[in-house]
Amino acid sequence: MQQEDDLRGLAKVMEFMRAISILFVIINIYWFCYQSIREMGINIGVVDKILLNFQNTAGLFSNILWTKLFAVVFLALSCLGTKGVKEEKITWSRIYIFLFPGFIFFFLNWWLLALPLPLIANTAFYITTMTIGYILLLMAGLWMSRLLKNNLMDDVFNLENESFMQETRLMENEYSVNLPTRFYYRKKWNKGWINVVNPFRATIVLGTPGSGKSYAVVNSFIKQQISKGFALYLYDYKFDDLSTIAYNELLKNLDKYKVKPKFYVINFDDPHKSHRCNPIAPEFMTDISDAYESAYVIMLNLNRNWIQKQGDFFVESPIILLAAIIWYLKIYDGGKYCTFPHAIEFLNKPYADIFTILTSYPELENYLSPFMDAWKGNAQDQLQGQIASAKIPLSRMISPQLYWVMTGDDFTLDINNPEEPKILCVGNNPDRQNIYSAALGLYNSRIVKLINKKGMLKSSVIIDELPTIYFRGLDNLIATARSNKVAVCLGFQDFSQLNRDYGDKESKVVQNTVGNIFSGQVVGESAKTLSDRFGKVLQKRQSMTINRQDKSTSISTQLDSLIPASKISNLTQGMFVGAVSDNFDERIEQKIFHAEIVVDNAKVAAETKAYQKIPVLTNFINEEGVDMMEQEIQANYDRVREEAKLIVEREIKRIKEDDNLKHLIKK
């Protein structure tokens, strides 16, 4: 009831304003057409005196435009309270069609009073044009008022409701990654910052191919963390795109480290640009569980469908067999032959020799009980199946180049050792992903074990295209490495990829334990999951009812998604949504962002052009200047095979000569 009374009162005020406007029009006609009005016999003395007083005191009629301006001002004020119009489709072009002619007819008709025509005719033309102009201005004003009042109808994509204030402060510390942004809020673009003040709480970077996740986010993590003295482990799926950035950033920031780090590369494609490293170096394996972890990673990378079948007999059997072989090589001859290539070659020897040798060691006898039961029970088919499930996948990894890289000892995998920090880049090749991923996964698992320790240098693990490699222990690294100053940044395209390649349980743990998340365009369930994570906000809703006589508008509020899934599914390249975590002493009130990450393309292009290529890391040139790479790699391959053969021969001979072990040969 009160609202209706207020509306009636407002309508009366608007009617009064329009009456004043019309009065100024009449006064203009009366004053400037006074002679014609006198000839028509109209003479109002009181009005003449009032108007003369206005002229003498305020100069109201010193110019023909003043009264017209006052008339238009009061007309505009009266239009602000317009209640409705009969038509729904009001456009600015339609308003302009009435507004401009109305302006011309109303303001630019003064010359009609000076035409060489009878005075009555001049006055008639003047009054007619002024009346037409006034009516046109009135209609344009009413439509304009309605259009401006219903501006929510113009926001068909709900941009205003779904825009929000974001962080505009730059918050830096010795660990932070800071990305400049542009975000839309209150009908304008604002400058802001995404402040990852605690990268040790892990970061996920999502986005479909071409969304800009590597260019805008991952590259920035590499550059800023190297510039702040981090040791770095980088998985470069398309070697050497990211590795080149890391190499050149290290050259520029060597002075940021107390001990200058060394740059290392693992690359199976081009041994010239690769160092050598033994991922199962015996000095870093302290227990048979370390051998099991290594075997587990290798086999699950070679057989991705096994990830969903962990615990099955024919999944665990080959893993246990390979783990036993790795541990055997660790304890045999002081670990001299403890390398992955030696393990492959040993596994490919006759199974009777393998089991005879392995069971001659008491610490392995119980470990191999599933195989021994089948062997002693003459269950040859079962035994062959168990061994074949290990041999067949591993045979794909028999490669001279891979053997060469994995049998050397140019460096150790403790990349965040304060006395010997490292920047390590491991390169994959999309064309040989299935082969290389198993070997690289082995490096990953060993690095995770070695870097997650107290008292080490701050370090970063950056994995782009995570689903292309099985990273054993990733969920545990995210959950526990924060206190050991290990920052983890994972890039992939979609949550469904992670579910497929890591299994639902492990994927959910990874998704739910990260503190910082960036997402470019993603669709489907991933977009819905992110939208739910960002929560809801109070938004305005407008409804409109139009009838022949009037139009009514009602506005209500309701909780709705701050960033809907549909908006995440249609993000422009370079636009990201996400959330960051904060610290006790560095509070971020608005953690959620929906912004374009600003990248200085010209600067990046100039930097890229000036980048040095990764140099030749291993020189195969002999004294005569001939590249001996193929010969050296083949010689290493032949040596490994020969050493594995000799190990078997020596061990069988030892067992035959030992009275306590002779029974194994008979069996």
Cα distance between residue 94 and residue 140, in whole Å: 8
For residue 85, what pLDDT band results from cuts at 50, 70 and 90?
very low
pLDDT at residue 547 tops 70 = no
Question: Average pLDDT, stretch 138-162?
Answer: 69
State in Å, rounded, how far the first CA of the chain is from the last one: 102
What per-residue confidence (pLDDT) applies to 45?
Answer: 67
Domain boundaries, the chain: 2-149, 169-276+410-435+460-523+578-619, 278-409+629-667
**Strands of 452-535, DSSP E:** 459-464, 486-492, 516-519
Q: Which residue has the higher pLDDT, 233 or 385?
A: 233
Strand order across the beta sheet in which 592-597 lies: 188-196, 177-185, 592-597, 575-579, 516-519, 203-206, 486-492, 459-464, 231-236, 422-427, 262-267
- When pLDDT is cut at 50, 70 and 90, the band that residue 258 belongs to is very high
Asked if pLDDT for residue 246 goes beyond 90, the answer is yes
Helix ranges, 421-494 (H):
433-451, 474-480
Which has the closest alpha carbon to 457: 415, 510, 502? Answer: 415
pLDDT at residue 313, as a whole number: 67
Consecutive H or E run containing 196: strand 188-196
- Inter-residue contact 321 to 347 (CB < 8 Å): yes
Residue 86's pLDDT band, with cuts at 50, 70 and 90, is: very low
Which tens digit of pLDDT belongs to each residue from 6-62?
556 667 777 888 888 888 888 887 777 877 777 776 666 667 777 777 777 777 777
Looking at residue 10, what is its pLDDT?
66
pLDDT class of 546 with cuts at 50, 70, 90: low
Which region among 151-155, 262-266, 409-413, 509-513 has the lowest average model confidence (pLDDT)? Answer: 151-155
> What is the SS3 assignment for 128-194?
HHHHHHHHHHHHHHHHHHHHHHCHHHHCCCCHHHHCCCCCCCCCCCCCCEEEEEEEEECCEEEEEEE
**Cα–Cα distance between 466 and 211 in angstroms, integer?**
16
pLDDT at 596: 95
pLDDT at 119: 76
Amino acid, res. 382 = Q
- pLDDT higher than threshold 80 for residue 466: yes
% of the chain at pLDDT higher than 90: 34
Distance CA 522, CA 495 (A): 9
Average pLDDT over residues 389-395: 79
Query: 3-state DSSP call for residue 204?
Result: strand
Chain segment 578-614, per-residue pLDDT in tens? 999 999 989 998 899 999 999 999 999 999 999 999 9
- Is the model's pTM score more than 0.85? no
Mean pLDDT over all residues of the chain? 84
pLDDT value of position 577? 95
Band (667; pLDDT cuts 50, 70, 90)? very low
User: If you search the block for the tokens 């690359």, which residue do you land on?
Assistant: 267
How many other CB atoms sit within 10 Å of the CB of residue 462? Answer: 25
**HSE (CB half, 13 Å, CA atoms) of 324?**
28
Q: Which of 352, 354, 377 is nearest to 364 (CA)?
A: 354
Query: Does 233 have pLDDT greater than 90?
Result: yes
| pLDDT at residue 436 is higher than 50 | yes
Average pLDDT over residues 436-461: 87
Residue 615 has pLDDT above 80, yes or no: yes
Q: Spell 476-492 as b/e; 16+ CB within 10 A means b.
A: ebbeebbebbbbbbbbb
Rounded Cα distance between 529 and 565, Å, is 8
Decide the pairing of beta strands 486-492 and 203-206: parallel
The pLDDT of residue 636: 93
User: DSSP code of 409?
Assistant: B
How far CA 581 is from CA of 119, 146, 347, 537, 584, in Å, comes to 81, 45, 48, 20, 10
Cα separation of 212 and 237, whole Å? 16
Q: Strand runs (DSSP E) across 472-617, as ranges?
A: 486-492, 516-519, 536-546, 551-561, 575-579, 592-597
Q: How far apart are CA 490 and CA 481, in angstroms?
A: 14
Rounded to 10 degrees, the C-alpha dihedral 521/527/530/531 comes to 110
Distance (Å) of CA 625 to CA 32, 404, 628, 663: 106, 21, 9, 56
CA distances from 270 to 46, 402, 452, 555, 618 (A): 106, 10, 30, 66, 10
Q: What share of the chain is helix, strand, coil (3-state, %, to 5)?
A: 55, 15, 30
Q: Looking at residue 458, what DSSP letter applies?
A: P
Main-chain dihedrals φ then ψ at residue 510, nearest 5 degrees: -60, -45
- Right CATH for 169-276+410-435+460-523+578-619 from 2.60.40, 3.40.50, 1.10.3470, 3.10.450: 3.40.50
Statement: residue 149 has pLDDT above 70: no
Q: Of 63-72, 106-115, 131-140, 655-664, which gets the smallest average pLDDT?
A: 655-664
What pLDDT is recorded for position 663?
A: 64
